[in-house]
Structure 1
């Protein structure tokens, strides 16, 4: 039986625990741990009848990645970690894999923070949840490390090379982010996860826009 590497397993457990905690205390989870735009935003009245406001808190740049909007949202993100995380962790090692995933989640959060705070999505003030930015970072890394491996799509069920898969999905996310910003999906966060993942890999490899880091290149 295939044994998941430790960080991949820990991420799956953390997502499951956070989801059950979210079910038990949904208001606390969303108000304090989802990613809110900069500033103070009144969203209603509290138990005392006074206006209740929410806003960005520093830890939200990571904690939002542990929350999910539905079981389906959680399931597909966890499935992607299961499918791609193990291979990446075995190739990079646990510390580098965890660093990469955290940077992708934080980078996606930063991009989403700018986009939502600026109001260009036209959706008003809303919280962002989900590890999808980190997931898209994993997809990019998988395509860069294993470009010719076959990935079987779920819908439609056709095989596709990893490199082609990422190019197609990246293009779709960009188009949906530009032309379908009211869909309720954080497309720019997904692209942000891919962008920061690409930058991390380029940094590790000593490739532009970064200086060479020595004769040895990493995968």
Structure 2
């Protein structure tokens, strides 16, 4: 079936064992939080890579690891592959966190502005853009605020609601090995571009380089045009691929010492 190499086997075992002991408290403690969150801890840049949000999440990541990882480990050796895996995973986390900070800092500034000058129209604009799945539950309050926009209780409640929406967003942790796995896929595509891979859906062969191009383009599109209900960390995937590209090209430029 699959011929696992030593580092790939260890990574697989650790991820599976951690999955079975993971609960919401573990995710909140070790998942990667926004730099703007009070729950952020630098160690989360590493620990989030071993947490997963469900069976489908860990299954897809581990399949990617055991399909593409062994060839890279055999090619580079255990030490270089281990460095590559964590380099791309950390790079993915940093890019994701940077984009998240940029996006959430604008939201933070909007919250600060609202706190200084609350009102119905600006409240409605904020919840339209940022409430997401909470919006339907706010409908009764929105109607009450519309009818009594100057009521002090409504104004105070609106500030509380906006604070809660912002806090929920920055306290939402990112978990998963996807950044490193997309790095592994990129590394595979760069080193073995003409290797034929047989897809399940649709059941056709495709060269590794075309698969990497497809994944990269899809993630860039999804990251830029992300739907509000989409909770996939596309920029973590992009980060893993980007840092993999940089490292493989750098190692390739050091041929005299690498090979």
What TM-score do the two structures reach when normalised by structure 2? Answer: 0.71
- Larger relative strand fraction: 1
Question: Which of these residues, 33, 38, 41, is aligned with residue 35 of structure 2?
Answer: 38
Query: What RMSD in Å do the two structures reach over aligned CA positions?
Result: 1.9
Matches within 5 A, 1:1-219: 3-22=3-22, 26-41=23-38, 55-119=39-103, 124-125=169-170, 126-182=172-228, 183-206=230-253, 213=254, 215-216=256-257, 218=259
Q: Where does the alignment leave 5 or more consecutive residues of structure 1 unmatched?
A: 42-54, 207-212
| Cα separation, 2, equivalents of 1:149 and 1:215 | 25
How does the TM-score come out when normalised to structure 1?
A: 0.83
Q: Whole-Å Cα distance in 1 between the matches of residues 46 and 213 of structure 2?
A: 26
**Which one has the bigger helix percentage?**
2
Runs of at least 5 residues in structure 2 that lack an aligned partner in the other structure = 108-129, 133-168
SS in 1 for 2:206: strand
The total of aligned residue pairs comes to 196
Highest relative contact order (Cα 8 Å, sep 6+), 1 or 2?
Answer: 2
Work out whether residues 199 and 206 of structure 2, in 8 Å CA contact, stay in contact via their aligned partners in 1.
Answer: yes
Q: How far apart, CA to CA, are the structure 1 residues paired with 2:44 and 2:225?
A: 27
Q: Provide the rounded CA distance (Å) in 2 between the counterparts of 1:2 and 1:168.
A: 25
